[in-house]
Structure 1
Amino acid sequence: MEISESNIKAIIAKLPHLKQEIQKVIVGQDQVLEEMIIALMAGGHCLLEGVPGLAKTLMVKTLSQAMHLSFRRIQFTPDLMPTDIIGTEILEEDHSTGKRFFKFNKGPIFANIILADEINRTPPKTQAALLEAMQEFEVTYGGQTYPLDRPFFILATQNPIEQAGTYPLPEAQLDRFLLFVKIGYPNEQEEFGILNSTTGSKKAAIEPVLTGEEILQIQSLVRDVSISHDLIEYVSKLIRATRPDTTSVDYVKEWVRWGAGPRAGQALILTAKARALLKGRYAVIMDDLHIMAYPVLRHRILVNFKAEAENVNSDQVTSELIRTVERPKVQV
């Protein structure tokens, strides 16, 4: 996709405005919003986790309103079926000939932005209905393949504290999410702002900033951002160090059950490139890799039972890897 230099600058200049529009409604959560935008720029999907009442759903809806894109919300429940997501065939009749035929009735998955609300409340069979859509950007029904509209972006939410009636996402499904974003409680000033802005009658008007075509151009630009050979080699070392069978890091051998696969390295490089572009740079630096390593590896490093008993989580493993894995001699 050829883009002129003036168009490149104009599109990149819109990225800060996208965040500003969302912040008309969402108070605080700067890092969360940034990671969501980075996932969109990199062409991947995002899993959001946080306790109830932290505006996860509102955040996703506001993001969709800030862009000229179609949006559908799917409420995941225990009785949701794959056809409720993908769609189903219905029997229709041609009134001119009297012949009957099956017509595919598209489900809510056929939109640009999908909010998969409380995704872990539905059984694995229904969760698996998203796998092909997330990876191949298409769905298959009745032996026929239907392409999805691009850009295509799934934002899934889950609550960490509700155990009854939930079905943990399998590793294969988790790995399809480019980033796993954790949403924490707001600080005192942010909480005051939330209470002040949401209990009155005035509502903020969201102005769309980006079109679907511009988002596709941004996703193309992200891949053109430069990264040095040394930094790619560093990413490879970092990802390989997460695997207890081959790592030389004792911390990993002690606490990790399964490490990250090659897709994690691809995700880390792509999101680091997206972050660099978001910050107005055309080259990846070490900080980009270190900051994006947490949401990239959070769901791809599986800690063992001993770690769970000692409250050691994947973020702590990532911190130790960043501290111990050898960096390039020439820092970028």
Structure 2
Amino acid sequence: MQHRSDVEAADALRQAYQQIRSEIGKVIIGQDEVVKFVLVSIFSNGHCLLVGVPGLAKTLLVQTIAQVLDLDFKRIQFTPDLMPSDIIGSEILGEDRNFKFIPGPVFSNIILADEINRTPPKTQAALLEAMQEKAVTAAGITHKLAKPFFVLATQNPIEQEGTYPLPEAQLDRFMFSVALNYPTFQEELQVVKNTTSTIQTDVNKILNASQIIYFQQLVRNIPVTDHVMEYAVKLVSKTRPNGEFASPQINRLLSWGAGPRASQFLILGAKCHAVINGKYSPDIEDVQAIAKPILSHRIVRSYHAEAEGLSAADIIEQLF
């Protein structure tokens, strides 16, 4: 049984989440699922990849979240000529003839890595190393990054010319890969009304950096029953072709399955999902609710699945 203070803290996180949602809703119309997954990944201390065509307010979403959470925000536009030092910073020779480190934009709480697939692997790797280590190394000296540290990367799925798709091993660093869809007719009407007039929308700050770090720790402390833990690990194991839990159908549809990091993120994400929905411990429904954006970028479809027009989401649905 949790301590009374843990229960109160869980309630406080749920209330804060609802307030954050309503503040973001003043600016961002629709995209409820996307907002939910971005917030779950922040509270789970993970990173998020958004895949969607331009003009779906990805930058505005991240700016708004940074405002509501009272965090520093930097946007890095990834281009083919971007160098690792443009992200992490570089050493310069000062007036006193000594080298000093000038931090790059990665030294911020929230980083929007815009069109991460537009830059060569060397530069992608610099950001991905920072995501993993929460630190950067320049001239042999390690510099710690700010806490909390959250990367939201965007990828444009249509213009593939001149792009460098993230390899599977690097995609694995992202807790979620979330697909953004076009707004509904009513949502788009509302967006156009809001953005073509002089109305200014102000959002209130709901949390700050130290409160977010506190809630991230709280999420890790949420207890999980053995059967939910086993369900999550088994779900991931089912994606591995020719593994002990893989069905003949999966052996045919997938050529590669998810690794252990997927199991870790399923449990962390399920804990956070449970808390924001008023529960003090996750159940199987919480694991299922976040499974698609956690597993979809970690499985590789076979040519059978591609020939049959089955998406990663369709295949994950079969696992349930």
The aligned amino acid for 1:302 is V
1:40-75 per-position Cα deviation (integer Å, ceiling 9, x unaligned): 010000000111211111111111111111110000
Whether 1:125 and 2:127 are equivalent positions in the alignment is: no
The 2-side partners of 1:289 and 1:77 are apart by 36
The 1-side partners of 2:14 and 2:234 are apart by 31
Structure 1's 149 and 31: CA in aligned 2 closer, same or farther, altered over 3 A? same
The 1-side partners of 2:219 and 2:77 are apart by 32
Whether 1:255 and 2:257 are equivalent positions in the alignment is: no
**What's the TM-score once normalised by structure 2's chain length?**
0.95
Q: 52, 74, 96: which one pairs with 1:72?
A: 74
Question: Percent same amino acid at aligned positions?
Answer: 51
The 2-side partners of 1:3 and 1:172 are apart by 41
The answer (yes or no) to whether the contact 1:251–1:320 under 8 Å persists in 2 is: no
Q: What SS does the corresponding residue of 1:78 show, helix, strand or coil?
A: coil
The answer (yes or no) to whether the contact 1:11–1:214 under 8 Å persists in 2 is: no
The 2-side partners of 1:250 and 1:191 are apart by 43
The 2-side partners of 1:248 and 1:10 are apart by 40
Residue 328 of structure 1: aligned partner: none
Structure 1 residue 188 displacement after superposition: 2.0
Q: What SS does the corresponding residue of 2:27 show, helix, strand or coil?
A: coil
Q: 60, 63, 87: which one pairs with 2:62?
A: 60
Residue 28 of structure 1: aligned partner: 30
The answer (yes or no) to whether the contact 1:60–1:115 under 8 Å persists in 2 is: yes
Whether 1:208 and 2:205 are equivalent positions in the alignment is: yes
The 2-side partners of 1:167 and 1:3 are apart by 50
Structure 1's 235 and 7: CA in aligned 2 closer, same or farther, altered over 3 A? closer
The answer (yes or no) to whether the contact 2:48–2:153 under 8 Å persists in 1 is: yes
Q: 273, 276, 284: which one pairs with 1:275?
A: 273
The answer (yes or no) to whether the contact 2:240–2:246 under 8 Å persists in 1 is: no
Whether 1:225 and 2:222 are equivalent positions in the alignment is: yes
Q: What SS does the corresponding residue of 2:82 show, helix, strand or coil?
A: coil
The aligned amino acid for 1:290 is Q
Residue 52 of structure 2: aligned partner: 50
Residue 135 of structure 2: aligned partner: 138
1:32-181 equivalences in 2 (<5 Å): 32-94=34-96, 100-181=97-178
The answer (yes or no) to whether the contact 2:231–2:284 under 8 Å persists in 1 is: no
Q: Unaligned regions of 5+ residues in structure 1, if any?
A: 95-99, 323-332
Residue 302 of structure 1: aligned partner: 300
Structure 1 residue 14 displacement after superposition: 1.5
Larger mean CA deviation between 189-198 and 120-129 belongs to 189-198
Q: What SS does the corresponding residue of 1:210 show, helix, strand or coil?
A: coil
Larger mean CA deviation between 72-81 and 187-196 belongs to 187-196
Q: What SS does the corresponding residue of 1:24 show, helix, strand or coil?
A: helix
The aligned amino acid for 2:282 is V
The answer (yes or no) to whether the contact 2:13–2:276 under 8 Å persists in 1 is: no
The 1-side partners of 2:52 and 2:14 are apart by 30
The 2-side partners of 1:263 and 1:111 are apart by 25
**What's the TM-score once normalised by structure 1's chain length?**
0.92
The aligned amino acid for 2:56 is L
The answer (yes or no) to whether the contact 1:150–1:212 under 8 Å persists in 2 is: yes
Q: Unaligned regions of 5+ residues in structure 2, if any?
A: none
Whether 1:317 and 2:315 are equivalent positions in the alignment is: yes
Q: What SS does the corresponding residue of 1:114 show, helix, strand or coil?
A: strand
The 1-side partners of 2:54 and 2:196 are apart by 18
